[in-house]
Amino acid sequence: MASLIGYYSLIIGFSISFLIIFFSIKNLSKSKLDNKIIFSVFFQFFFVSLSFLGLVQSFITSDFSNETVFNHSHTTVPTFYKISGAWGNHEGSLLLWLLVLTLFIFLFLLRSNDQPKKYRIFTLLFQQIIIVGFFVFLIKTSSPFNYIFPIPKEGLGLNPILQDPALAIHPPILYLGYVGSSIIFSSALAAVVTNYISSSWARHIKKWILTSWIFLTLGILLGSIWAYYELGWGGFWFWDPVENVSLMPWLALITLLHCTLVLEKKQILTSWVVILSIATFTLSMCGTFLVRSGILNSVHTFANDPERGLFILIFLFILVFLSIFIFLFFYKSEKTTTNSFFWLSKETSILINNWFMMYFLSVVLIGTTYPIFLEVLSSEKISVGPPFYNKLIIPFLVPFLLAMAIGPKLKWIKSELENKLNLILFLIISLLLSTFIIRNLDINFLINTILVTSAFYLFLITLKDFFSKKFKNLSQNLAHFGFSLLILSILFNNFLSTEIITNLKINETYEDGALKINFEGIEQKNEQNFKAIIGKFVIEHNGGQTDIMQPELRIYNQPNIITSEADIKTTLYKDKFMTMNSVQNQEYFNIRYQVKPFMIWIWLSTFLISLSGMIGFFKKRYEN
């Protein structure tokens, strides 16, 4: 019954789209927004919500007459993961996308009463084009309500790596970031059509940019934490293509946010704002295409169906060509004297920031898409990993960090560097501190000293601003401080991490001079839908410190898969990380023991960055 309600609610929501488009076009000639439009948008959101709740209810009750439930659930799966299983698959995740799309346009109409009527209607029309596209995609190729007969008694089960709290909430938060960019896209096209690219529009759309960026940051953070402890590799970022797909709109949103801040002050960078608004949503849609087309081999991919990928690709091309057509034929650039600005000003620093961000974005885009095009053209498979990104990004990270430190010191329109002595003094302190640290590490001296110096410089400058400016520009300072802390944490994590990989039998000991790993035994436990084999390891460090580590192997009943669960001991300074895996047809277990310094600071710094966005969201106006 829940599946039936869900299906017909989806059809009704789809039908309402055409009513909304009809009412909107009819209302263009009137002076006031018709209440029928707002009520129609609400009912569309209501019926899509009802459809989504129908799918969730089908998962909770293990209704295996529903094909999606059969493919992605089992009666022994805990209720929490039954619920999260509703969006832990291709069909359910698309329904969640649609739910957020309809929610955001409804909120947009409620929150934009002070905006011009024609601008609101055109934003609604462009958003409905996207919504109709997703409705057609869901109903034609990816319906979450397909019926199975005869009804199976059991389902195929939920992928074990999805049965995790962080990954259960990671997709909805990430989708809020992705789908938020659709409002930015629709709003920018509407503003171009109605010639409304202005300071008041910038103030209005900035809230949506911040909303999208905050959720995308938190979504990436949760995904990174999940990958760290669940995949058992001990890392937080692997330059996986789907990780990169989430990073690209994040970089575009940062650039767009800075451009919007300039547009609030002065009628310049208007073309940047429009192009970045289009690019951000395009990059989000590219992520949807890559995940669902089957052309990527990743732990993140949902589907391997060329028909679905082709539909998204065609839909993406339609949206891109529509936006290019509107930009070319409706965009009116402001040819006034305000387009020029002094070389030493906050506007210039933001423009420099834009070029750096676009370079980083280009590197990630090329590294992600080049293997795909190469395979299509020559059938040659390659993978682009960390060395590629490190070589191209790290050299440009140094001037970027220095520019982040100096840029906020500049004034709008025209500026002179104030407190030059302080800036030079902090640079010298950063250089001396970095030289002292790097000289005591067995790593490349020159490049790492320069890199750490630039990160320390931004860190010290922003730390000083917290005390000297008394919470003025708190959002900006916190974002820059969080970013400097993130870079420093990543650098020292990379410099100081250690790893031991060995094979051990029960009651055997590994010793390398710095520590001993004693494999004392295993214990078995039966849980609701898996059996756990828990190892007990006693780690003896030089100096007498002892740790007990208990990594697990989990044998799931449906699907019959073995996963490795890490045991992690976290302190403010470092993480101690251990996994074990069985060696086929052997009495040995493969043991991986890692010491990962400053891991918690990577998570905290990323949270500080997202917190800066939240503070910026609730500010009434941008502070000088």
> Number of helices and strands (H, E) in the chain?
17, 10
User: CA–CA distance from 555 to each of 89, 287, 363, 523, 559 (Å)?
Assistant: 22, 32, 40, 13, 9
Per-residue pLDDT at 234? 74
Q: What are phi and psi of 415, to 5 degrees?
A: -145, 160
- With 0-12 / 13-18 / 19 or more C-beta atoms within 10 angstroms meaning exposed / middle / buried, residue 564 is middle
CB atoms within 10 A of CB 132: 16
Task: Output 335 or 480, whichever has higher pLDDT.
Answer: 480
pLDDT at residue number 473: 81
Count of C-beta atoms within a 10 Å radius of residue 620: 5
Q: Tell me, what's the pLDDT at 338?
A: 46
**Is pLDDT of 57 > 60?**
yes
Q: Partners of 454 in the beta sheet?
A: none
Q: Position of tokens 């969640």?
A: 96
d(Cα 352, Cα 365) in Å, to the nearest integer? Answer: 20
Query: How many Cβ atoms from other residues are within 10 Å of residue 380's Cβ?
Result: 9
- pLDDT score at 99: 96
User: Among all chains, which residue has been given the structure tokens 């006034």?
Assistant: 336
Residue 456, in any domain of the structure: no
Higher pLDDT, 382 or 506: 506
Full 3-state SS string of 375-444 = HHHHCCCCCCCHHHHHHHHHHHHHHHHHHHHHHHHCCCCCCCCCCHHHHHHHHHHHHHHHHHHHHCCCCC
Q: 10 Å Cβ neighbour count for 612? A: 23
Q: Span 446-461, mean pLDDT?
A: 93
CA–CA dist 141, 137 (Å, integer): 6
pLDDT at 454: 96
Q: Nearest 5 degrees, angle CA 105-CA 109-CA 113?
A: 160
Is there a domain that residue 106 lies in? yes
Residue 314 has which token pair? 């065609």
526 phi/psi in degrees, rounded to 5: -100, 120
Under the banding of pLDDT at 50, 70 and 90, the label for residue 343 is low
Both tokens assigned to 216: 């995308």
**Residue in the block written with tokens 């990816």:** 142
Q: Is 366 or 559 the better-scoring residue by pLDDT?
A: 366
What total number of domains does the chain contain? 2
- Residue 622 has a pLDDT of 43
Q: Mean pLDDT across the stretch 212-227?
A: 93
Last residue of a domain, one of 162, 190, 214: 162
The residue type of 438 is I
Low-confidence winner among 98-102, 297-301, 457-461 (lowest mean pLDDT): 297-301
CA distance 248 to 286: 10
Write down the pLDDT at residue 339. 52
* Size of the chain, expressed as the number of residues it contains: 624
Is pLDDT of 73 > 80?
yes
> Mean per-residue pLDDT for 273-290?
88
What's the distance, Cα to Cα, between the start and end of the chain in Å? 57
Is residue 590's pLDDT more than 80? Answer: yes
Helix (H), strand (E) at residue 330: helix 306-330
SS3 135: helix
More confident residue, 371 or 40: 40
Angle of helix 386-406 versus helix 445-468 axis, rounded to 10: 40
| Residue from 565, 493, 498, 571 nearest 534 by CA | 565
- What one-letter code names the amino acid at 268? I
Instruction: For residue 27, give every residue at least 6 positions away whose Cβ sits within 8 Å of its Cβ, in sequence order, or none.
Output: 33, 34, 37, 117, 121
Contacts 24+ apart (CB under 8 A), 56-59: 56/83, 56/86, 57/2, 57/6, 58/2, 58/3, 58/6, 58/86, 59/83, 59/85, 59/86
d(CA 167, CA 486): 22
- Residue 306 confidence class, pLDDT cut points 50, 70, 90: low
CB within 8 A of 367, min separation 6: which ones?
A: 239, 244, 384, 388, 389
Asked whether residue 612 is assigned to any structural domain, the reply reads: no
Q: What is the dihedral of CA 319, 325, 327, 329, to 10 degrees?
A: -160
Enclosing H/E stretch for 313: helix 306-330
Average pLDDT score over residue span 480-489: 96
Nearest to 235 by CA among 227, 247, 243, 245: 227
User: Domain for residue 151, yes or no?
Assistant: yes
Q: Which domain holds residue 32?
A: 1-162
Cβ atoms 481, 466 nearer than 8 A: yes
Percent of the chain with pLDDT over 90: 63
Residue with tokens 């760290």: 228
Given 162, 197, 214, which residue is the final one in a domain? 162
- Residue 594 clears pLDDT 90, i.e. is over it: yes
Q: Are 312 and 137 in contact (CB under 8 A)?
A: yes
Q: What is the per-residue pLDDT for 267?
A: 82
Beta partners for 592? 501, 579
- pLDDT-derived band at 481 (thresholds 50, 70, 90) equals very high
Q: Determine, yes or no, domain membership for 76.
A: yes
Residues 535-553: b if buried by 16+ CB within 10 A, e if exposed: bbbebeeeeeeebebebbb
User: Would 616 be classed as within a structural domain?
Assistant: no
244-280: per-residue pLDDT in tens?
889 999 999 999 999 998 898 888 889 999 999 999 9
Give me the residue label for tokens 């002070």: 114
Q: Answer with the one of 162, 185, 211 that is the final residue of a domain.
A: 162
**pLDDT at site 304:** 54
pLDDT bin (cut points 50, 70, 90) of residue 310 is confident
Q: If you average pLDDT over each of 340-344, 585-589, 607-611, which comes out highest?
A: 607-611
Cα–Cα distance for residue pair 194/72, rounded to 1 Å: 46
Residue 508, domain member (yes or no): yes
- Place 470 in a pLDDT band, splitting at 50, 70 and 90: low
Tell me what pLDDT residue 292 has. Answer: 63
What mean pLDDT value characterizes the chain? 89
Is 445 part of a structural domain of the chain? no
* Per-residue pLDDT tens digits for 174-211: 989 998 999 999 999 999 999 999 999 999 999 999 99
**Pick from 161-170, 215-224, 352-361: least confident:** 161-170
